[in-house]
Structures are given as structure tokens and as C-alpha cells.
Chains A and B, each alone.
Chain A
Amino acid sequence: MKIVGITACIAGIAHTYIAKEKLEGAAREMGDEIKIETQGSIGIENALTPEDIAEADVVIIAADIGITKDRFKGKPVIEIPISLVMKSAKGVIKKTHEKLER
């Protein structure tokens, strides 16, 4: 599965980047391809390109702040608080699989 996503926390200092790493680790463990864009205090990094989004099977937005979703029109979008990723990134990826396979 190809996953793209965004992480963003309130302060944009730590959780944003930890959640990215956790999602990537969990997805790769399950054999998925993943690219996560971070929206933090240093701005947007690892930005998703229109190609990334077009090729993706699903979009995961793990954010505690408002994120513009116009880019993801037509794609299944899963929106969750960043705490879910912090608690269990593997659980998030597993649930994503279940949802898409339904």
C-alpha cells in the first residue's frame, strides 16, 4: 500500500517529528510505502508533491491543528489526533489497512 500523510502538533517542536518517524517505522514494518510531510515550527518539510498524492492509496492526517485538505480531493483521508500515533503507530497503520480493504 502507498500511504502519504501529514503530521502537525500544536507547538510544532517535537511531537510532529516523532509521529512522522513512528508512522514511517510502523508502515515499513507492514510492507507499505510511506511519505510523511511535517508541518511544524520550521515550516513544511518533506512536502508531498502532486505525484506523491496521485499515487497514494490513502492519506493519513495526524494533526492537532487545522490542515488544508484541498490537495487530497478524491482520496480516502483518515484524520486522527497526533496522540493516536504516539500511543500506537502500528495500530493506526493496521486500522488503515482494515478500512481500505473493507
Chain B
Amino acid sequence: MSNTDEKKPISERLRGLWHMLSGYRLLYVGALIAVAFAAVAKTSSFLVLRYMIDEVLLRDEIGRAVLLIALSFIGLALIEGFFTFLGGRLTARTAEGITRQLRDQLFDHLQRLSFSFHSKAQTGDLIQRVTSDVAAIQRFFGEQVIELGRILLLFGINFTALLLLNVELALVSVIIVPVLSIVSFFFFRKISQLYEQYQEQDARLSTVLQENLSGVRVVKAFARQDYEQDKFERENHSLFVRGRDLLKLHAYYWPVTDIVANLQIIAGFGVGALMVINGTITVGTYLAYAGMIMWIIHPMRGLGRLIVQASTGLVSYQRILNILGEPQESLTEGSVEPQGDVRGELVFDHAGFEYEEGQEVLHDISFRVKPGQVIALLGSTGSGKTTLMNLLPRFFDYTSGRITLDGIDLKAYPRKYLRRQIGIVEQEPFLFSRSIRENISYGVGRDVSEDEVIEAAQAAAIHDVIETFPEGYKTVVGERGVTLSGGQKQRVAVARTLLKNPRILLLDDATSSVDTETEAEIRQALDRLMEARTTFIIAHRIQSVMNADLILVLDKGRIVQRGTHDTLVNQPGIYQQIYDLQARVELELEREIAGV
């Protein structure tokens, strides 16, 4: 997916992020206002100090005034504290609210994206985007923007206050600010490059470690422990060196900017002190100034970091946009509103399918199926069997010719309806890490009683297996629970499909991985499932297609042979060859055993 990623200009991305804020804009603006109030309160406390020095202490009017001043100092701190907290809380509400929305939206969007998207996308990449990139958005709103706002507000409000106190002093005090913020920007950009390299090396070290651990038998069997240690040592040392490079940069940056910032502060102190001595400003003004200057200079050093970090937030946003920009497939759209169930009469009329222009994978497919019939598809991997099956539930839409179900164009049916009518049992069915009961009733679309589940499990010949688990139907499958064998999974899927009770059945018949005893059980379960349903079987062996009403042999997306078992066996071709081979096997075996 990454090579098709397109990039939107930054201004457009910022607009997109603003759009994402909808519903939270008031809260977020409120958060910024609260931050501003907190800054005003802080600045005001310096002005209170100024008042106290000039009007009270230096005039010897101590008494009630001092108590009032002390109390107003505390009062301002309370106001500042309250607004800082309020700002934080509103920010958290916004950032977490947006992330929740985004997570839900992405989750839903992903499950509604077309099959062609999912067959191309890599799971790892998608997971990365919906986790790390969403977290980056959370930090963007939750930390970076608000912190940027705070620094700028602190600067703006304190600087304004300084201007009001004395214009000259104010201007002298901020000479260094542009320099400091530019230096900080370039520094953090460099740091983030070095940090990336550091992390790449970290990943390399992890790979060496991981390969060593998972290949422990090979390492031991070749007695290559020393070699492995050398390899690890190389990467470990290189990581150390990269860490040191990164560190050096920090070790230079902070003291150097310390010097720059302090020089500015000393200069300000000097100019301010001289102004007091000259009588241009009061002692109180100087004190207020000395307090405010700290809040102007020091935060500026972190400005670069915020800008660099916020720009990674924009990159993440772009990566998320690329997912959200993919078109969904509609579940409900369709020109007919069918009532009840379909009968299951299918007609393929010169149907074809291409994933992309000019790359046809199915050509000129024509056949008819009456309700309840069994159609077997036989062919090599890549012959188009699976693709043909995928057309029926409209995982993909046919691109030429026509397919009708009960006389109505397949594309006229809403996907949701169609998929409710079709049941699929795959070769290695996907089960969810939930209880077996939940897996069986997954997707039935109605409340299912315990008895119904058991009944379905019995019919699918899996009930007895489930009973052997200590927790029975509540047993969780997958990583956190029991691991089921391929055959067991398949039977759970059969039970699931029985409960769903579809009119059309798509079956990937692969019993090669299971042993002979379970094979018989699975066959019985499948036979029960196929009763009175139009069934398509992808067959891997002749044995499983012999009873089909129609066998289609596919090659390179075309039907090359068709008919029933009886006709195909007597027709020269692949079908006959395979059939003959099968008969020969038993003969060979007998001969070999007799021969020893």
C-alpha cells in the first residue's frame, strides 16, 4: 500500500485535522482560553508583587494591605491552578474523544473496505497505522498543540505585560528569542534524524536476538555460540555508538542554549537595574520584570521540539487519511429489496472477472444451477476456482457477461442480503479468540439458545470433542485458549454454518490434512450441511466430487471440461487421468506389499 500512498499538502492536512476536531472545537478552544487565563493569572501575580514593593513596602504602609496582598497572591495561584487544571481536563477530553472516534471509525471503515483492498494490504502495516499513528494523533492534540499554545501564550501575555511596563526594556529582553527558537528547531530536527537511526539499529539488534532465540537448535547443533556472540556484540556495540552520538548532540545543545538564554537574562537584569537607578522604572517593576523574563526565555528552548514532533503528527495523519480515503463497499445498496429467502437458481452467462483493467482471471464462464444442486470445481491452484466462488457473495463483482440469481442480476441484490443467504466453509476456517459457543453462534444475527448450539455441534460431529474440554462450550479458542486441529476448526465452521442456515453453500473441501477417521466424520457432517442447499464445492480430490450434479474443470480461468462423473470418466482429459491414477494407487500398494 505504501507505494501508492499519495501526499496532501500540509495546509490541507491541517485543515483535515481541524475538521477532525468538529464536535470538540468548543472544548478545545476552551482549553486554550483556560491556558491563557492561567498565564494571565501568573503574570498578574508578578504585578501584585510590583504593587506590594512600590506602594506598600517602599512607603512603609504595612498592615492590612500586606494581608490583602498575600491573600490575593494565594488567590491568583488558585485561579492559575484552576485554569491549568481546566485546560488539562478539556484537552484530555478533546484528545481522548477524538482518538476514540478515530479508532471506531477506522475499525468500521476497515471492515467495510472491499476485498480487493484487503487482499493487497498487509495486516502488519494496517495495525501499525491504526495503533501508532492514532497514538500520534492523540499526542498531537493532547500534548503538542496545547503545549505550543501554552508557550506562545506565555510569551505573548508576558511580553505584552512587559511592553506595558516599559517598551524599551521589553524589546531588549527578547532579542535572543528568534535566534533561540530557530536554533532549537534545527537542533530537534537533527535529533529526530539521529534518533531514527538509533531506532533502526535497535531493530537490527532485536532481529539478531530474535533469530538467535528462535533458531536456538541450529545454533546449538552447529555449536555456533561464539559466532552468535560476535554477531550480537557487533550490533550491540553499534547501538552503543549511535546512542553516544545522539547523546553528544544533547550534551552540546543544552549547555550552549543555557549560555545564550542566561546571557539574555543577565543583559536584561543589567539594563533593568540601570533603569531603576536612573529612575526610569520602579523597584517593583524591576522585580516583576525579573519574574516574567524567565517565562519568556526558557520555554522557547522547547519550541523546536514541539514543532518537530507536531510535524510527525502530520505524517501520521496522512497515513491514516490514506486508509480512510479508500472507498467502502456498500452493504445495503441494491436495486431490489428481496423478501424471504432465495431459491438458489444460478445462471452464469459468459461471465468474466478482472482485478485490474486487462488482467482477466475468469473468462467466459457459463453454466446453470438448479436449486439444491451440487457443483464441483476442479482445477490447479490459480485456475480461478476461488475467484469464481468469491463472485457469489459479491466479495468481488463480475466485470463482464452476467450472473443471475433466481433470475435477478446478482449486482441488484444488496450485499448484506446476499451474504445472509450464502454460507461459506473454508479449508482452514478462521475462528475468533472467543468461546466455542460464541464462535458457533457468530454471525447468525439473532439470539441463539444453548440447545440450538448443541444441536448444531452434534450435527457437525464436533459436540463430543467439545465435551472433552474442561470448560465445554465456554472454552476459548486460539492463542489464549485451546488450539483446535484443522479438522476440528472445520467442524466448528460447519456448525456455525448450520445455525446460519443459508440457501447457498460454498465449500472448500480439503480433508487432506486430517487423518482417515476424522475424515469420515467430517464427510458426514458436510453431507448433512449440503442437504437441500445449492452447493459449490472446491474439490481437491476426485472422491469428493463423484456425486456432484455438475463438475467444472477449470484452467487459467476457463472451463475446460464439464459434466458429471460418469461422462468425464469416459472422456479423455485431466479428469480421466486423475481418476486412473487413483485406481492405480491401490493396485501399486498391493503389489508392493506382496512383493516384499
Q: Do A and B come from one complex?
A: no
